[in-house]
Structure 1
Amino acid sequence: MSTRNSGPDLPVRRIDRILAYMALGLTIVSIVCFFAVILARPLGVSDFSTGVWPLVVVLPLIALPIAFILIIALLIVSFVRRSRANKGA
């Protein structure tokens, strides 16, 4: 157990919030699209090539990897910020 007092917590910066909300938003939209595709077939949608369905089918394939990259970027930014704060302390 550590007895060292690390001092006050670092404030959350705007870039941290932006990365977190973008990753969360893309993940939620992708999951909703994923379930829409799963539920569309039993509900009688037989043609996924017209209307908004091509976007609904492709969106999880693009948005989930982007959300993963945003989470990795958020972790890197966080680690760099904490490392700089610890070097200065």
Structure 2
Amino acid sequence: MTVAEKTPVNDNRNERILAYMLASAIGLSILAIIAVIAGTGFGVRNFGEGVWPFVIVLPTVGLPIGFILLVALIVMNAVKKSRAARDADE
């Protein structure tokens, strides 16, 4: 029996969900930074009104969350590889 047959489908699904969460958190944060730069270029001077407070705070929250998700994804991948190596030795 191969390692792929022993691994439940949830492992791959969890990694995939974590990767999408990571990409969306970092992607939205980068888009928010670009929006602030573009807003400044287009002459927005008052970032305290409308949607701008949310856009300014989003990278402050999104980038650390993305970093935590990246670390979690790396740890999950390392655990999966170590289990696969241990199972291959048996």
Q: For 2:79 and 2:73, how far apart are their aligned partners in 1?
A: 10
What is the match of residue 38 of structure 1?
37
TM-score normalised over the length of structure 2 = 0.84
What is the match of residue 16 of structure 1?
15
List alignment gaps of at least 5 residues for structure 1: 1-6
Q: Secondary structure at the match of 2:68?
A: helix
Bigger proportion of residues as helix: 2
User: Which of structure 1's runs of 4+ aligned residues deviate more than 2 A?
Assistant: 7-12
CA deviations 1:22-55 (Å, max 9, x no partner) are 0001111111100110111120111111110000
Q: Using the TM superposition, give the Cα deviation of residue 85 of structure 1 relative to its aligned residue in structure 2, in angstroms.
A: 1.2
List alignment gaps of at least 5 residues for structure 2: none
* Cα-Cα RMSD: 1.7
What is the match of residue 63 of structure 1?
62
